Chain A
Amino acid sequence: MAKSDPLQFDELILSKTRLGIISALIGGDKLEFTYLRNLLELSDGNLSVQIRKLEEAGYIKVKKVFVDRKPKTFCKITAKGQKAVLNLISKLEEMVD
Chain B
Amino acid sequence: MEKENSMDYIDKTRIKDPAAVAGDLKFMRSVIEKTYRLYDPRWPVMIVWGLIFLTGMSLTQYCLAKSQFKEFIQPMWIILWVIGAAVGIFDGCRCERRERKTGHVSRLSNQLGLIWYILLLNGSLWPIGPFSVFFGKQAFLWAAIFGFGLSVSGILSSREWLFGGVAILISILAASLIKEYAYVILGIAIGLGCIIPALIIKRNYRNQEKGNG
Residues of A in contact with B (beta carbons under 8 Å apart): 2, 7-9, 11, 14-17, 19-20, 23-36, 39-40, 43, 46, 65, 67-68, 72, 74, 89, 92-93, 95-96
Contact = CB atoms under 8 A, between A and B. Distances in A.
Given A29-B107, A31-B103, A95-B21, A24 B1 contact: no
Contact of A95 (B7, B14, B97): B14
Nearest to A7: B13
A15 B27 CA distance: 12
A36 B104 CA distance: 9
Given A29-B35, A92-B21, A92-B25, A65 B12 contact: no
A69 to B, nearest CB: 12
Given A27-B37, A43-B1, A96-B25, A15 B6 contact: yes
Interface residues of B, number: 34
A35 B104 CA distance: 7
- The secondary structure that dominates the B interface is helix
B10 A9 contact: yes
Nearest to A35: B103
A65 B101 CA distance: 11
B105 A29 contact: yes
B25 A89 contact: yes
Name the 4 nearest CB pairs between A and B, nearest first.
Answer: A32-B103, A35-B103, A30-B105, A28-B107
A26 B27 contact: no
A10 to B, nearest CB: 10
